[in-house]
Each structure stands twice: as C-alpha cells, then as structure tokens.
Chain A
Amino acid sequence: MIVCSNCKHGNMAGAMFCAECGAQLVGKDALTTQNISTDKFKKVTNIPADDMYQPFDGSDAWGSLHLLDTGQVLPLSSRNEFTMGRISEGQPIMPDIDLSPYQAYAAGVSRLHAVIRRDGGRLIFMDLGSSNGTYINGKRLLPNVEQSLSHGDVVALGKLKMQILLKRNE
C-alpha cells in the first residue's frame, strides 16, 4: 500500500496517482497544493491596528502586508496591482508576490491564489479560484469576486494570515 503524502489516502501498490486527491505518487516529486481543512477556521480577532502599525521602509510604498505568523512586513510599491501565490517548478504564470518563503505550501496557498489592487483611494482584494480559499476577517470570499479592504483587515490565503496596513496619508 502506498499512503498519499498529500491526503493520507491508502492507494494500492503500483498506483501512480492518488485515487483520492490525484497527487502524483511516483516519479518526479512535483509539489501539489496541499489541501487543508477549513472547518475549524476561527475568526481572527482584530488586533488593534495601532499596536501593529509598524513603520516600514520604502517611502513610496502605499501599503504593506504584515505576515502575522512570522512578523515580516512586505511593502507594496512601484505598481498598483499584485498577484499573490507561491512559485514552484514548471509554472506558467508567476505570482508577483511569492509567498513560498513564508510556509505558503504548508498553509495551503495556491500557486496563483489572490490579487490585491489599489484603485484610486480604494483597496481591492480578490480570490483567483484558489483551492483552499481566501478569507477577509475570517469570512470566505467567493472566487473572482472583488472585495474592498480597509486598513487593519486580516486576510488569509488558506491558513496564511496577514494584516493589511495602509499608508495613512493617502
């Protein structure tokens, strides 16, 4: 028996792809997006924005993503639209922001997961049909439907949580 490393389904010896989740079991070990359960997804309590608000480098940045698990801050600048996801081998379309250094694979981030866009004074967030979903303050988004964001919102790509910080004087 071969146990699928992705979904733990027991496959018959000699199987090449998992009968349950379709993950490749033999040959080149290509990574597939992990499937995580979102049943126990709790609403993230809003951390007071002021405590979290840290100054960040790059004065031309219009906002930043604060990764809650690791505390890193990713400034957003130079353009108005960023796709987010993780880069892996043989991928046709690369995301602008690669989250793979931040345990994106384990958190269930799809290769092309979501997009964040600045539209005038508004900030827009959209799920790109990800496998494990995108959440704003714990609420799951419909794929490909735009949602507006405000300063301090906590978004989650799968289980990877981050807080949206906007530059105030804009």
Chain B
Amino acid sequence: MSASKPDYYAVLGVFRDATQEEIKRAYLEAAQRLHPDKNVAAGETELFLGAQQAYEVLSNPKRRSQYDATLPPEVEVNKDIKHELHFSRPNLVKLGEDQLVYVLLEVAPRDETTENIAAPPLNLCLVLDRSTSMQGEKLDILKATAIQLLRSLRPQDVLSIVAFSDRAEVVVPASISLDKKKQEGRIQMMQASGATEIFNGLDAGLKEIRRTLDPSRVNHIILLTDGQTYGDEQACLQLAEQAAAQNVGITGMGIGHEWNDIFLDALAGKTGGSSAYISKPKDIERLLVEKFQALVSTYADDVLLEYKEQDDVKINYVFRLQPDAGPIEVGSPMRLGPILRDVHLQVLIELVVKPEALNGDNATILNGFLKTSIAARPMPVPPIRLHLTREVHQTPSSDPPPTRILSALSRLTLYRMQERAQVAVDAGQFEVAVRHLQNLATHLLSQGEHSLAKTALFEAENLERMHAWSASGNKDIKYSTRALLLGGGKEKK
C-alpha cells in the first residue's frame, strides 16, 4: 500500500471480509461520532472526511474490488491492543459426553501506545442516595468525599452530582466550568429524608451525563445507595441498557446490608461495570477515591466480545478477574469491562463442549471478535478476531494445567461456592446451602483466610437454625470471596 493511500478498512474499523451491511453500519457510527456539527476538536473534520471517503469506495462493489487489489495481504496486528489466551488444557478428548474447557483471556494496551495517548477526560456523575437511612455518619462522609473529588478534578473533567430519595434533584449540574466554592456549598446543603427510589436518581444522573456526553471522555455513573428499591428494578435495568448503548458505564456501591446486591450487580453488569460493598461508612471515602482513580487511568472504557452462538459449544459462565472482579452476563455481545493503563483486563470463560463438536481433528470452541474503543482517540480501533480452536485427541493430555488458570480457578471456586449457597437458600434448600458454606469454610481455612472462614461457618450455623442469613453475612462472604480474586491478580505482579 502506498503511503498516501489510507487503509479504508482500518478507518471504518471493519474486517476486510465485512459485508456491505457491516460497512454501512460502521460508516453511520463513524459519521455520528465525527460529524462536524457535533465535533469542534481540531482534526476531527478531516477524520470525518476520511470516513466518508472510505465509505464511498467500500460501498461500491466495483471500486471496492479495485481497491482491494492494491492492498497487501491482511496482517492482523492491532497497533493499540494486544491479547493473550490461555487454555485449561492443550486439547480436547474424544468423548461421548459433555466436557469443560476454561479460557483465560487477557487484554492489554500495547506498551508503546500508552505513553502517546493522554489520559481521557472524565464525564462523571455521582448519584447519591439521600434517603432517611443515610442520615448521620454516612451522609457526612459522603459529602466530604464528594467535595474531595470535586477539588481533585482536572480542568478538563466534568463532575455532576444527583441526590435522590423518592425524588431526584441535581445538586451539581454537568458543566465544564465549575464555580467550585458554590458547588461545595450545595453539596453541604444535602439533607437526608424520604424513601429510596433508584430509578429517579439513575434517570436524572443519565440526563446529566448526556448533557456533556462525548465519546472521547470516560462517561460514567457511580450509584451509591444503602437501601432497596421497590418495583422499579426493571425500569432501572432498561435504563442501564440505554446507558450501555451510549457507552456510559455504571458502578454500583452499596452501603450497609439492606441493599440488593444481585440487582446492583445486574445493573452495573449491563454496562460492563461492577458493584462494590461498603460495610462501614468510613470505607466510603477509600472506595470512591479508588474508583475515581481507576476511571482516570482508563485506557479503553468498553471492551465488547461478540461471538457466534454455536449449538455444540455453550458458554457456561464468564467472570472478570480484574480490574473489578465480578460476574459478566453471558450473551453476545458481552461487555467485558474497561482496560486500565496499569491493570489488564482478565476474563475467565467456562465453556461446555458437547460431543457433536468433536467430529474433526479440530474443534472450534469460540468464534468471534473483540471490539474496543479507546476513549482518548476518536479513530475506531480495528477489531481483534478470536477464533479459538482445540485439537481433538483420543486420550487426555498429561500436561499439568497452567498455573495461572489453576490459581485463578481455585479462587473463583470459592466465589462460586458462595453463589451456590445463595442459590440454595433462595430455593429453600437450607441443608444444601449449609453444606456449601461448610465446604467453603474448609477451603478458606486451608488458604489461611481464618476470619472469613469463621464468617462462613457462622452463616452455616445461622442457616441451620434460623433458615436465614444473618444481617450482613451473605454480602460479607460474597464480596470478601470476590476480593480474594483481586488478591490473586496483584500477586502475579
């Protein structure tokens, strides 16, 4: 390819074998993002014209084939993102029954690119619960932390704050130039009253985000609540889907033990985010500041895994090990979450391979691609093809499983035992739940997690006698076992 001629496929972010429909869709997306009416940043008009030119060539089959003839063979090297795959076993075994295989997917920025790309500006909205139960220490710390975040903003960042109870009000509207003293005063005025209705807060928060919505920013909502919401869960989840479609991430934080962790996980999961548990009010500050720093160090804020569903291989379970440990909703596309500059994205996938998949010498276990968008750059990133295959052998390999997968799974197993106990409790099978918790305690003890083991045993006892969790038990166990997974990620470094 001559230097003067741009790679039209890369400009639109599509593969060379893209269908006309895919090309059209990519062009429309690019046009929306780069349209001169919306973008005033230097150089974006040129990008827009480039996308237009690419579309003109590629949308015309005749011109496209002429253009294709001038291209060198496609070499799949992504300049910005690298990925690694680790399999739990080197090959599959010809068996008449279902078998499991685990894949650890790691996605990271290419080292040389992080320096050239500036940290993206933030468009952050804090959606804060100010219902009656927040009164006192919780709200005081929350206010102090919000003011601290406000003061630590860089000039290019936007922070808006919404307070909600059964209605929502915008405390700090989203705007670029902040009169910080005035905003601090408004945060101080927040008072606790009313019930918890998350939908109102989330809706107002999303509206604020949309006022300064910009693909080159990290657009994110942090929802902080200490209560359950009643009746509006479905509406909230729909809102989260709309947010995800606009690349707005959501993080849920629950204080105390009265909130619904499953709901908050699902809500954040829709956008590739996760939920966190704050057991003591004094942790509010630490967790919020940590989250804030993670957002500032975002490299790519949305990684999507799109795949073709296969009849003979099922994705059974997907879990993000880092940056924020948490389950990922299975389906295509899957939102895997952000890639931070210093923390790679690690996702563990459990696949069930049916006997029908083993007909040839090679079995395809996953066919799809990874799509990322790098916040600080308006150019689309070429997708990465993922075509995962394993050879089919008659006998199992005697190689020991890779230690990375083994150690990740040993911790994930603990988390899943907790999940199973939860499922059993929900189904009223208390004996099963007790057994799971006792097993969990054994493993925790053997890994030196004594206090957590005690909590698990205490809960087992509680379930046995009262047929219910203690006030904070299930959340303590759930989020502590999740935290163990994070420990695993750090250990590697």
B-chain residues with CB within 8 Å of residue A28 when the two chains form the complex: 400
Closest B residue by C-beta to A30: B446
Q: How far does the alpha carbon of A35 sit from the alpha carbon of B443 in the complex, in Å?
A: 11
**Are A110 and B442 in contact, CB atoms less than 8 angstroms apart?**
yes
Q: How far does the alpha carbon of A129 sit from the alpha carbon of B413 in the complex, in Å?
A: 21
**Are A13 and B448 in contact, CB atoms less than 8 angstroms apart?**
no
**Are B88 and A35 in contact, CB atoms less than 8 angstroms apart?**
no
**Are B414 and A129 in contact, CB atoms less than 8 angstroms apart?**
no
**Are B448 and A32 in contact, CB atoms less than 8 angstroms apart?**
no
A-chain residues with CB within 8 Å of residue B102 when the two chains form the complex: 14, 16
**Are A93 and B448 in contact, CB atoms less than 8 angstroms apart?**
yes
Closest B residue by C-beta to A34: B442
Q: How far does the alpha carbon of A7 sit from the alpha carbon of B401 in the complex, in Å?
A: 22
Partner of A129, one of B353, B410, B445: B445
Binds A, one of B15-23, B140-148, B234-242, B454-462: B454-462
Q: How far does the alpha carbon of A134 sit from the alpha carbon of B170 in the complex, in Å?
A: 57
Q: How far does the alpha carbon of A93 sit from the alpha carbon of B101 in the complex, in Å?
A: 35
Closest A residue by C-beta to B88: A16
Indicate if B99 sits at the interface (CB-CB under 8 A). Answer: yes
CB contact under 8 A between A27 and B458, given known A12-B352, A22-B440: no
Give the interface SS of chain A, mostly helix, strand, loop or mixed.
Answer: loop
**Are B401 and A16 in contact, CB atoms less than 8 angstroms apart?**
yes
- Restricting to B445-474, which residues have a CB under 8 Å from any CB of A? 445-446, 448, 450, 453-454, 457-458, 461
Closest A residue by C-beta to B396: A13
A 65-91 to B, binary, CB cutoff 8 A, 1 in contact else 0: 000000000000000000000001001
Query: Which of B401, B413, B414, B454 has the most chain A CB within a 10 Å cutoff?
Result: B413
B 414-434 to A, binary, CB cutoff 8 A, 1 in contact else 0: 101100100000000000000
Closest A residue by C-beta to B353: A14
Indicate if B190 sits at the interface (CB-CB under 8 A). Answer: no
Min C-beta distance of A141 to chain B, whole Å: 11
Min C-beta distance of A48 to chain B, whole Å: 34
Number of A-B contacts (CB under 8 A): 91
Indicate if A112 sits at the interface (CB-CB under 8 A). Answer: yes
**Are B97 and A142 in contact, CB atoms less than 8 angstroms apart?**
no
CB contact under 8 A between A22 and B413, given known A131-B438, A144-B454: yes
Closest A residue by C-beta to B351: A14
Q: How far does the alpha carbon of A16 sit from the alpha carbon of B99 in the complex, in Å?
A: 11
**Are A22 and B443 in contact, CB atoms less than 8 angstroms apart?**
yes
Min C-beta distance of A146 to chain B, whole Å: 15
CB contact under 8 A between A15 and B97, given known A35-B438, A129-B441, A131-B438: no
A-chain residues with CB within 8 Å of residue B175 when the two chains form the complex: none
Closest B residue by C-beta to A85: B445
Query: Which of B93, B417, B442, B446 has the most chain A CB within a 10 Å cutoff?
Result: B442
CB contact under 8 A between A14 and B417, given known A22-B439, A32-B446: no
Indicate if A143 sits at the interface (CB-CB under 8 A). Answer: yes
Q: How far does the alpha carbon of A66 sit from the alpha carbon of B413 in the complex, in Å?
A: 38
**Are B441 and A131 in contact, CB atoms less than 8 angstroms apart?**
yes
Q: How far does the alpha carbon of A110 sit from the alpha carbon of B93 in the complex, in Å?
A: 36
Indicate if B342 sits at the interface (CB-CB under 8 A). Answer: no
CB contact under 8 A between A131 and B461, given known A14-B89, A17-B413, A22-B417: no
Min C-beta distance of B389 to chain A, whole Å: 16
B-chain residues with CB within 8 Å of residue A163 when the two chains form the complex: none
Indicate if A44 sits at the interface (CB-CB under 8 A). Answer: no
Min C-beta distance of B454 to chain A, whole Å: 5
Partner of A112, one of B414, B416, B440, B445: B445
Partner of B414, one of A16, A22, A110: A22
Indicate if B100 sits at the interface (CB-CB under 8 A). Answer: yes
Interface range on chain B (Cβ under 8 Å from partner): 35 or more
B-chain residues with CB within 8 Å of residue A93 when the two chains form the complex: 448, 450
Indicate if B409 sits at the interface (CB-CB under 8 A). Answer: yes
Min C-beta distance of B306 to chain A, whole Å: 25
- Restricting to A97-136, which residues have a CB under 8 Å from any CB of B? 110-112, 129, 131
Q: How far does the alpha carbon of A84 sit from the alpha carbon of B99 in the complex, in Å?
A: 41
**Are A143 and B442 in contact, CB atoms less than 8 angstroms apart?**
no
A-chain residues with CB within 8 Å of residue B443 when the two chains form the complex: 22, 32
A-chain residues with CB within 8 Å of residue B97 when the two chains form the complex: 1, 12-13
Q: How far does the alpha carbon of A131 sit from the alpha carbon of B353 in the complex, in Å?
A: 35
A-chain residues with CB within 8 Å of residue B446 when the two chains form the complex: 32-33, 88, 91, 111
A 16-52 to B, binary, CB cutoff 8 A, 1 in contact else 0: 1101111010111000110100000000000000000
A-chain residues with CB within 8 Å of residue B93 when the two chains form the complex: 13
Q: How far does the alpha carbon of A21 sit from the alpha carbon of B88 in the complex, in Å?
A: 20
Q: How far does the alpha carbon of A20 sit from the alpha carbon of B353 in the complex, in Å?
A: 20
**Are B100 and A12 in contact, CB atoms less than 8 angstroms apart?**
yes
Closest A residue by C-beta to B352: A12
A-chain residues with CB within 8 Å of residue B457 when the two chains form the complex: 129, 143
A-chain residues with CB within 8 Å of residue B458 when the two chains form the complex: 143
Closest B residue by C-beta to A144: B454
Q: How far does the alpha carbon of A14 sit from the alpha carbon of B446 in the complex, in Å?
A: 24
Indicate if A55 sits at the interface (CB-CB under 8 A). Answer: no
Partner of A92, one of B89, B353, B448: B448
Indicate if B406 sits at the interface (CB-CB under 8 A). Answer: yes
B-chain residues with CB within 8 Å of residue A22 when the two chains form the complex: 413-414, 417, 439-440, 442-443
Indicate if B28 sits at the interface (CB-CB under 8 A). Answer: no
Indicate if B405 sits at the interface (CB-CB under 8 A). Answer: yes
**Are B442 and A33 in contact, CB atoms less than 8 angstroms apart?**
yes
- Restricting to A139-156, which residues have a CB under 8 Å from any CB of B? 142-144
- Restricting to B64-111, which residues have a CB under 8 Å from any CB of A? 88-89, 92-93, 95, 97-102
Q: Which residues of B contact A (CB under 8 A)?
A: 88-89, 92-93, 95, 97-102, 352-353, 396, 400-401, 405-406, 409-410, 413-414, 416-417, 420, 435, 438-443, 445-446, 448, 450, 453-454, 457-458, 461
Q: Which residues of A contact B (CB under 8 A)?
A: 1, 7, 12-17, 19-22, 24, 26-28, 32-33, 35, 88, 91-93, 110-112, 129, 131, 142-144
Among all A-B residue pairs, the 6 with the closest Cβ atoms: A14-B100, A13-B99, A92-B448, A131-B442, A17-B413, A14-B99
